[in-house]
Amino acid sequence: MSFAQQRGRNSMSGNALAIEASGLVKSFGDTRAVDGVDLAVRAGSVYGVLGPNGAGKTTTIRMLSTLLRPEGGSARVLGHDIVTEADQVRGLISLTGQLASVDEELTGRENLVLLGRLLGLTWRAAKGRAADLLDAFGLTDAAGRLVKHYSGGMRRRLDIAASIVVRREVMFLDEPTTGLDPRSRNQVWDIIRAFAAEGTTILLCTQYLDEADQLADGIAVIDQGRVIAEGTPSQLKASVGSGALHVRLLDPDQRPEAERLLSRALSTVHLEPDPAALSAPCADGDRGAEAVAELSRAGVRVASFSLGQPSLDEVFLALTGHPAEDQTEDAEIAEEERA
Partner 1 sequence: MTEVRLHNVLATAPRARRASALSAAITFGWRGMLKVKHVPEQLMDVTLTPVLFVLMFTYLFGGAIAGSTAEYLDYLLPGILVMSVLFTTVYSGVSLNTDLTKGVVDRFRSLPIWRPAPLVGALLGDSLRYLVAGTVIVVLGVALGYRPGAGVGGVVLALALVIVFAFALSWVFTTLGLLLRSPNAVMNAGFMGIFPLTFLSNVFVDPETLPGPLEAFVEVNPISVLATASRGLMEGNVESADIAVVLGTAALLTAVFAPLTTHLYRTRA
Regarding 293 and contact with partner 1 (CB under 8 A), the answer is no
The sign of the CA dihedral 146, 147, 148, 149 is: positive
Give the integer Cα–Cα distance in Å for 280 and 310.
10
| Region near partner 1 per CB under 8 A, out of 165-173, 264-272, 273-281, 294-302 | 165-173
Residue 146 lies near partner 1 (rule: CB under 8 A): yes
Residue among 162, 191, 167 at smallest CA distance from 177: 191
For residue 326, what is the DSSP state?
-
CB 2 to partner 1: min, Å: 18
Nearer to partner 1, 196 or 280 (CB): 196
Q: Which of positions 66-95 make contact with partner 1 (CB under 8 A)? A: 66-69, 87-88, 90-91, 93-95
Question: What distance in Å separates the CA atoms of residue 109 and residue 126, rounded to the nearest whole number?
Answer: 10
Query: Per rule CB under 8 A, is residue 106 in the interface with partner 1?
Result: yes
Cβ–Cβ under 8 Å, residues 243 and 282: yes
Closer by beta carbon to partner 1, 93 or else 261:
93
Q: What is the DSSP string of 117-183?
A: HHTT--HHHHHHHHHHHHHHTT-GGGTTSBGGGS-HHHHHHHHHHHHTSS--SEEEEESTTTT--HH
When binding is defined by CB under 8 A, the residue of 38, 103, 259, 294 that contacts partner 1 is: 103
Calculated CA dihedral for residues 182, 175, 53, 274, nearest 10 degrees: 10
**Residue 322 makes contact with partner 1 by CB under 8 A:** no
Phi-psi region of 102 (alpha: psi -120 to 50; beta: other; left: phi over 0): beta
Q: Please report how close the Cβ of residue 65 comes to partner 1 at its closest, in angstroms.
A: 5
* Contact status: 28 vs partner 1 (CB under 8 A): yes
Position 339 contacts partner 1 (CB under 8 A): yes
Binding site for partner 1 (CB under 8 A): 28, 62, 65-69, 87-88, 90-91, 93-107, 110, 114-115, 117-121, 125, 129, 132-133, 135-138, 146, 157, 162, 164-168, 187, 190-191, 194-195, 197-198, 336-337, 339
